[in-house]
Structure 1
């Protein structure tokens, strides 16, 4: 007896293979192959809700959920200048489901000013991707008669008898060191009043409970635009596009604050590279969306995607700059 032909079997086998290939390259299937697809990602914020970092995190979380195919939840862990959030990141599993959105203070400054912060950025974290740089700024409250930085200095020397309090969002932070150096430069007895984040500091400035404050431009810009506070000087090497009327400290004669801080995403050390790549790629795609780019820029951010390697280089350079400044002030780690 003749054996049955295998042509039909070969045909159906080829069709099945083609069908499988098509399914593998379908958008849904491609997304399903991503490490974080279908999972819940916790985006840690080291400051209270209502501040600049929190607002940025919520914008990114909403955009990233589509690109990652995951649920992205903003989780505020305020306290100690982001220290509690950083410790939570260190304790999280290294699978990409817990990320830390942080600027320079927690990653670059805290390890230099706190003896035992409970984490080591170089050993415990891996930079995933950066998305912006920004500057810190000096602002006066609406109840202060000063309309410029020099007018503020003159007002403190006159009405304040040379003494004044300036709010800062965290102790032993870049804003606090700026207050110290401004006091030395202009022979003022300025005291940095530390808060637990920018939101409570802004509340006191809006209530005219404190005459001045130093914070990031994203923290200050909306109230500056509405006239509730007045930004009178910015750090950085050039005036900010969002605040073209505000001079830099270098223009005012206080040099040394040209290096700008950064914003980025960090993951626990040991997170697999495919997962890191997925997050970095997703972040690059959402930053390319004109609407999101414009919203972040309007908040005073210079928006640009940085790879994990670039973010790491930026963090190390900034850390080195501020290490020199902190040592020059004579500050002793607490």
Structure 2
């Protein structure tokens, strides 16, 4: 066989392989709606907004086309949830939701504005969200134990806790702490973590609760300090901060939340599978993990089925707490 013929044959074999692979790649890119909107129910700058934007960028890098992040703050995230659940069920509009809207609100709100079983379809879990209680950098207490002691001595009429979400695990934790420690800490709701933390830093409210990720920018700037984190283990990003449980406040052991993607209940199975696969694939990107880790968020991908199971398990965890505290939201 002449050398020139061999070269041409080799070239056309390579070209054929490329052509054969092109439809597969195109199909992969076309699996998601284009454009697709990830709705966030909180103001820009918080942990939910950060997570949505990091995932949107990774999806775009993977060839998903146009991925938009849209902020619809208000009603502790329920405005954004309602907007998504009433959207066309084609996968083009999904909601990045903190877990309390799935695991606590159905227990605490008389009418949260949606039926968890009838209206919501889990798509995937994205990250675990360690939470924490913080205070302004100039406040006279350096941990939660110190704050409780201070509040007993100096705030006999009561004090307050800033939260971005009423009915959240932080809200329930504080109510339980009030019962157990004889404190009078009243949760105050904000439209998002960012405005709440500004008030914490300036001393308008003495303490605030939210995701660690929401707090890192002001912490790094020296404006706030951590009094304690949720769960039972210290965070790699905050090695000197003790857990609230280790300080004698077990009310916050289960306060580590998570972010999940949900869609309208009537979204077709194939569309949900495509969304699930895309978000879980994005979770594997090293730079995405690093970006979120520096903000105190732990990438923890889980399928739609696994997410649904976790939701129902956590509902049963919080059910007796809600019953004991008697919390009821309107």
**TM-score, normalised by the number of residues in structure 2:** 0.88
Give the whole-Å Cα distance in 2 for the aligned partners of 1:304 and 1:130: 7
- Whether 2:312 is the aligned partner of 1:321: answer no
Indicate how the Cα distance of structure 1 residues 68 and 116 shifts in structure 2: closer, same or farther if over 3 A, else same. farther
The unaligned stretches of length 5 or more in structure 2 are 1-12
Equivalent residue number for residue 75 of structure 2: 80
- 1:333: how far off? 4.1
Deviates more, 1:182-191 or 1:132-141: 182-191
SS in 1 for 2:262: strand
Give the whole-Å Cα distance in 1 for the aligned partners of 2:305 and 2:292: 23
The answer to whether the 8 Å contact 2:33/2:92 transfers is no
Give the whole-Å Cα distance in 1 for the aligned partners of 2:215 and 2:184: 24
Alignment partner of 2:227 out of 218, 229, 232: 232
Compare CA radii of gyration and give the structure with the larger one.
1
Mapping for residues 182-331 of structure 1, pairs under 5 Å: 182-259=177-254, 260-331=256-327
- 1:104: how far off? 1.1
Give the whole-Å Cα distance in 1 for the aligned partners of 2:327 and 2:280: 38
The answer to whether the 8 Å contact 1:201/1:213 transfers is yes
Give the whole-Å Cα distance in 2 for the aligned partners of 1:318 and 1:38: 31
Deviates more, 1:27-36 or 1:108-117: 27-36
The answer to whether the 8 Å contact 1:34/1:278 transfers is no
- Whether 2:60 is the aligned partner of 1:89: answer no
Give the whole-Å Cα distance in 2 for the aligned partners of 1:324 and 1:20: 64
Equivalent residue number for residue 8 of structure 2: none
Give the whole-Å Cα distance in 2 for the aligned partners of 1:57 and 1:198: 15
The answer to whether the 8 Å contact 1:43/1:72 transfers is yes
Deviates more, 1:276-285 or 1:206-215: 276-285
Alignment partner of 1:39 out of 24, 34, 40: 34
- 1:257: how far off? 3.2
Give the whole-Å Cα distance in 2 for the aligned partners of 1:323 and 1:38: 37
SS in 2 for 1:26: helix
Give the root-mean-square deviation of aligned CA atoms: 2.3
Give the whole-Å Cα distance in 2 for the aligned partners of 1:226 and 1:204: 15
- 1:36: how far off? 4.1
- 1:205: how far off? 1.3
**TM-score, normalised by the number of residues in structure 1:** 0.87
* Runs (4+) off by over 6 Å: 18-21
Equivalent residue number for residue 13 of structure 1: none
Alignment partner of 1:160 out of 155, 159, 163: 155
Aligned length: 317
